Amino acid sequence: MAARAKDDESVRDIGTQLARLVVAYAKQETVDPLKALGRYVAWGLAGAVLLSIGLVLVSLAAVRLLQTELSTHLSGELTWVPYLGGILLALVVAGLAVTRIGKTPR
């Protein structure tokens, strides 16, 4: 009878170890990569938001610079030209960003 109880315990221990192994493997292969991906996406979104805010501020600075420096030349019906300059600056920066998407560094 003592040998059978020992066999039952070893089967129970093996089952417990197997369950722990399966849970650890599932965590290693699913939860941990998802956490890493979440961190990657969070940093990417934070960077995109900060870059967007920076681009807007630089564009506004360019508009204000053009308005200040060229106010004597761009008066009357040409007051829209600084705004066009700001928009063009933003489009150039956005175009450069789009061309760099997916490029591998050399």
In a domain, 40, yes or no: yes
Q: What is the pLDDT, as a whole number, of residue 106? A: 65
- What is the rounded distance in angstroms from the CA atom of residue 87 to the CA atom of residue 60? 9
Number of domains in the chain: 1
Q: What is the pLDDT, as a whole number, of residue 30? A: 86
In a domain, 7, yes or no: yes
Q: What is the pLDDT, as a whole number, of residue 97? A: 86
pTM: 0.63
In a domain, 105, yes or no: no
For residue 85, give its domain range. Answer: 2-100
- What is the rounded distance in angstroms from the CA atom of residue 15 to the CA atom of residue 21? 10
Mean pLDDT, the chain cut into blocks of 10 residues (106 residues total): 60 89 88 87 94 93 92 85 93 90 72
